[in-house]
Structure 1
């Protein structure tokens, strides 16, 4: 057997063991296991960032690699220092929002996704394990700007900014379905802030809480760029 085939066999075998192990776990243990993996990944990411920032010499000493400093405005610097002190903290909890069938149907009309799990109330009551229709995962995701007050001009988090841009998402998961009629709200936790040219890049982990349900309907890392 070729070496590359052996490596592939080992990888597939380990992935199967990990999958079987997770299936054996109870839901509570599985959540703790996921949290453990998430924390490990977070620390590994910081280690990789440190490795990129430092160069190791032959004698074992590490020396920081010289980088061109990023020039930021006084407004950006003030916001950066303020946010740095809040890394890891929950910085926002939104208002509750009821997910109605009408909202789900409108989203289906816009996207063309009319799967019966979302729009056929009678069939969902008979055949769905949830005994009701559920919101599209992307509907929940699309509501994040509203749930986090990002589109509310009266509650702007960056009032002095010239422009705020949605730069994307680093990771999105839908741990539990949002049933039609559910009430949801978003919790935002600040996880990273970095200087960029003419502004800051801000990362927040957003978790969508479902009232009366332990597991969230959506967890996403949002990346926003603020320009001054």
Structure 2
């Protein structure tokens, strides 16, 4: 795991692959809980029988936003950013979904540091994030995740 203690350490890794997370299995229970939390109960996500008989993937699929919501959890498996008062999820740029994540697929976050900039004492970091799907050639998505760090 990469340890980052300050802006200068972040900046020293610009352009580098930072690592990959563990594999995380997205099961139907997680999909159903996400549907409840977001009030998005579209059948392609929550109705197994209909998804198998009518759906294009013959299976339920994870919500795209569910896969995005895993970024903070998976990112913490790649980097341990220390000495911060606050971390803010600032945005995602150039996001493209490559293919859906089927129920019981395993996903893994791959991270590359695009930039680290000091904005009047706040560190703005852009991470190229790719969510790989185990045994699939195309990722679930790619995009640039932007974090703001307030180092102590």
For structure 2, the 5+ residue unaligned runs are: none
The TM-score normalised by the length of structure 1 is 0.61
Aligned residues: 148
1:105 to 24, 28, 32: 32
CA contact (8 A) 2:11 2:117 kept: no
The answer as to whether partners of 1:172 and 1:218 remain within 8 angstroms in 2 is yes
Q: Within 2, Cα distance between the matches of 1:199 and 1:109?
A: 35
- Structure 1 residue 164 displacement after superposition: 1.6
- The CA deviation at 1:191 is 0.2
More helix by share: 1
The structure whose Rg is larger is 1
- Per-residue CA deviations over 1:15-39 (Å, capped at 9, x if unaligned) read xxxxxxxxxxxxxxxxxxxxxxxxx
1:91 corresponds, among 4, 13, 18, to 18
**1:14-68, Cα deviation, whole Å (9 max, x unpaired):** xxxxxxxxxxxxxxxxxxxxxxxxxxxxxxxxxxxxxxxxxxxxxxxxxxxxxxx
Structure 1 stretches lacking a partner, 5+ long: 1-75
CA apart distance, 1:156: 6.0
CA distance in 2 between partners of 1:96 and 1:131 (Å): 23
> Aligned ranges for residues 3-82 of structure 1 at < 5 Å?
79-82=6-9
The match for 2:71 is 144
Structure 1 residue 162, shift from structure 2 partner: 2.1
Q: In the alignment, which residue of structure 1 is the partner of 2:56? A: 129
Aligned to 1:177: 100
The yes-or-no answer on 1:196 pairing with 2:119 is yes
Of Structure 1 and Structure 2, which has the larger fraction of its residues in strand?
A: 2
Shift of 1:226: 1.2
Q: Which one of 82, 87, 98 corresponds to residue 164 of structure 1? A: 87
